[in-house]
Amino acid sequence: MLRRDQCFRILARHVTDEIVVPVYQAAQEWRVAKPDHALTFYSIGAMGQASSCALGLALGRPDKRVIVLDGDGSLLMNLGSLVSIANQRPKNLLHFVCENGAYEANGGHPIPGRDRVSFAGFARAAGYPKALEISALADFEAKIAGLLKEDGPVFVTLKLVAGDPPPQDYAYIHGAAAREAFRAALKR
Amino acid sequence: MSNEQPIAGAAILDALAAAGVEFVISVPDITTSQGLLWPLTEDRRFRLVRVCKEDEGVSICGALSFCGKRALLLIQYTGLLDSINALRAAGCDYKLPVAMMVGLLEKEPGVPPKQSARFGVRIVEPILEAMGVPHDLFELGSDAARIRPAIDRAYQESWPTALLIGRRI
């Protein structure tokens, strides 16, 4: 099984000028893994909207690769976005869902359908040309470089186990400074 | 009721193009389907992004604004009601420009929305006002001249706006 913080540390070594769109706990952990990555779009706003924000960024900046670090509870709130994304077929979109089966930011309650639903199955059925699951760190490390080069939209479920809780800094994530830093980085 | 001609879809499309709108994000609405959305599908000035649910469109519009792209979210008022939390977050908390064109399904032509017999139509403007989102009603041909200024203002002030379509186009 995978731990999100371990995955993100590996991902951080590969990310250079890609836009990264992380949600909630993934955002907190991404801040630890790559604190200086100004092309991080923290401004998800309402729960579930990361994939839609990412689609907007992918359409608006087709010259940049967009990586979504979605949550399973988050994606369940916006499953239709899988269809909308697949319909647009943005080549520059790589969509990870961090599947830990729980609403981690809201008390650890299980998501509906935990251990029964298949997020990669959802993505395939929605029309993503490629969807896979990764459940071992070595597999993630072996595949990540290729995934970052592949034409999208590509969907990857990361089958996670809980790690140590990351430091919480919602004030930064929702704050104007994060948005302005992203806006400035995107203009460079 | 005025004898003036109703607002035309072609005039709306021209106003949107003049406002620099490149993307139209939409869930279909019968109010604007025939005269606006269908012609838009063949209008090469715009890229149409069909979404499954209106709150997706709120986020897409907000994200596109970071890329320097102007967008319009073309929806029905029921979709606006369903998207209030996304609008609260992206539009109001984050102060992003989200320009929405909202069909007031079954509003009686010439009747102010707050006086409609339809409950759902009556509550649209009070909800927008509670959120501080400016809105304007578009029903007649001469109203089209106010589209571009409304969209310009949304992007200049980085704040949402709602253009309410009060009759079937």
DSSP secondary structure, B116-167, as one string: -S-HHHHTHHHHHHHHT--EEEE-BGGGGGGHHHHHHHHHHHT--EEEEE-S
Interface touch A55/B55, C-beta < 8 Å: no
Give the pLDDT mean for B148-158: 98
In whole angstroms, give the CA distance from residue A30 to residue A20. Answer: 9
In whole angstroms, give the CA distance from residue A96 to residue A144. Answer: 11
**B53 touches A: beta carbon within 8 Å:** yes
Backbone φ/ψ region at A128: left (φ over 0), alpha (ψ -120 to 50), beta: beta
The domain B9-165 is placed in CATH, from the list 3.40.50.970, 3.30.2390.10, 1.20.1250.20, 3.30.430.20, at 3.40.50.970
pLDDT at residue B78, rounded to an integer: 98
Interface touch A53/B60, C-beta < 8 Å: yes
pLDDT at residue B2, rounded to an integer: 65
Q: How many CB atoms lie within 10 A of CB A1?
A: 11
Interval B108-150: pLDDT, tens: 999 999 999 999 999 999 999 999 999 999 999 999 999 999 9
In whole angstroms, give the CA distance from residue A66 to residue A56. Answer: 10
**A185 touches B: beta carbon within 8 Å:** no
Total number of domains constituting chain A: 1
- Smallest CA-to-CA distance from A5 within A166, A172, A167, A147 is with A166
> What is the distance in angstroms between the CA of the first residue and the CA of the last residue of chain B?
17
pLDDT at residue B1, rounded to an integer: 53
The CATH number of the domain holding residue A95 is 3.40.50.970
The predicted model scores a pTM of: 0.97
Interface touch B66/A183, C-beta < 8 Å: yes
Interface touch B59/A52, C-beta < 8 Å: yes
What letter does residue B6 receive in the DSSP assignment? B
Range of the domain at A92: 2-187
**A87 touches B: beta carbon within 8 Å:** yes
Closest to B49 (Cβ–Cβ): which among A59, A80, A179? Answer: A59
Which SS3 state, helix, strand or coil, does residue A140 take?
helix
Interface touch B67/A61, C-beta < 8 Å: yes
pLDDT at residue A165, rounded to an integer: 79
Give the pLDDT mean for B70-77: 98
What ipTM was reported for this prediction?
A: 0.96
Give the pLDDT mean for B63-88: 98
Given a cut of 70, the residues of chain A with pLDDT beneath it are none
pLDDT at residue A6, rounded to an integer: 94
